[in-house]
Amino acid sequence: MSEEKSVVKPIRDLKPGDQVNSFYVVRKKELKTKHDGTPFMLLELGDASGRIRAIFWEDARAVYEMLPVGQVVRVRGTVATSGEGQQITVEKIRPAEPQDRIQIRDFIPKCPLDMEALVGHLEETIDSVANPFLHHLLKHITGNAEIWSRFREAPAGKLWHHAYLGGLLEHTASLVTICQSMTELYPMLNRDLLITGAILHDIGKIQEYNFDRGLIDISKNGRLLGHISIGAQMVDRFIDQMDKSGGEFPADLRQQLLHLILSHQGELEQGSPVVPMTPEAMALYYADELDSKLNALKQIVVRDREPDREWSRYAPSLERFVYLGLKDLEED
């Protein structure tokens, strides 16, 4: 590919007829054949702003074999419309090279909020947990440099809610705020137990997702075990470590905390091994549902908001169209 100047335009801003000559990450690839047996390649390309379908015709088999998923590529082509929306008709494509000075994390969406403020919010909340066992557990987990670093950077989803770097931290901080309000409104709730469950409910996602390439993907461990069981096992191991260091963790408190993690998705059909059976578990489930669905709705509104457009595209994740005649959420 001739090294002409890149035409850098975020995927979300591409329009039919646009000429592109820029870098994207290969999210998916598929080798197909025309009626005459000639191969062609379908791709899904991505950057930090979104995803777009692409099609490549020339020498497709050879190019398919040299481009693994997660590879950053330089693409030259034209944006067109197809039956499935916009796509890039690719003229030339090549892997990124060292002289391109690509930063792989630049292709993954990032949390738009102040990350240090979110960390501070969680740390203040942990300091406010009065129960000595739960407080020690939270300090023990967040004091593990590898886990806490991964927790601060991990996404909370692949394509659904908080699907960007720092998404897990943002989701957890929001959930803690919601649960704190719940305990003020409903004094029957055990505040320390619910807050601890909110902080730890999704900790398994630090292993469920890989985000070390130019996209968020599910890890082998994530596919085989899922974040709920991974998280429950992690917390159980930390409690075991505490028991060995002195001060046996109360058995009933341990069961209730693990129940919060195991039941937080609410229904067996949604992946929870058990349904919520305590007031704190029920509260955590609904708080989690509220924050995840509103974040997903916000992403849909921001993605589809256009002048004079009244409705979003159909959102399979919410099983509905979303009305766009709302306050401009992009300014929030």
Q: What is the pLDDT of residue 325?
A: 79
Could you tell me if 29 and 53 are in contact, meaning their C-beta atoms sit under 8 angstroms apart? no
Q: Do residues 199 and 289 share a domain?
A: yes
Q: Do residues 17 and 78 share a domain?
A: yes
Instruction: Compute mean pLDDT per 10 residues along the chain, 332 residues long, and list them.
Output: 61 91 94 91 93 92 92 94 85 93 90 95 97 96 95 92 95 97 97 98 96 90 96 96 82 97 89 94 97 91 82 86 70 48
Q: What is the pLDDT of residue 328?
A: 53
Instruction: Please report, for the domain that includes residue 99, its CATH number.
Output: 2.40.50.140
Q: Do residues 212 and 165 share a domain?
A: yes
> What values do phi and psi take at 178, rounded to 5?
-65, -45
Q: What is the pLDDT of residue 146?
A: 95
Q: Do residues 100 and 112 share a domain?
A: no
| DSSP H/E element including 243 | helix 220-244
Q: Do residues 127 and 248 share a domain?
A: yes
Q: Do residues 64 and 199 share a domain?
A: no
Q: Do residues 124 and 224 share a domain?
A: yes
Q: Do residues 155 and 228 share a domain?
A: yes
Number of domains, the chain: 2
Nearest to 29 by CA among 67, 62, 1, 58: 67
Instruction: Please report, for the domain that includes residue 258, its CATH number.
Output: 1.10.3210
Q: What is the pLDDT of residue 85?
A: 79
Q: What is the pLDDT of residue 212?
A: 83
60, 81, 104 - which closes a domain: 104
Return d(Cα 63, Cα 68) in angstroms, integer. 10
Q: 286 burial class (0-12, 13-18, 19+ CB within 10 angstroms)?
A: middle
> What values do phi and psi take at 173, rounded to 5?
-65, -40
Q: What is the pLDDT of residue 251?
A: 95
Q: Do residues 121 and 92 share a domain?
A: no
Q: Do residues 97 and 113 share a domain?
A: no
**DSSP of 82-122:** ETTEEEEEEEEEEE--GGG---GGGGS-B--S-HHHHHHHH
Nearest to 86 by CA among 198, 9, 183, 177: 9
Q: What is the pLDDT of residue 6?
A: 54
The range of the structural domain enclosing residue 16 comes to: 11-104
Q: Do residues 164 and 267 share a domain?
A: yes
Q: Do residues 158 and 78 share a domain?
A: no
pTM score above 0.85: yes
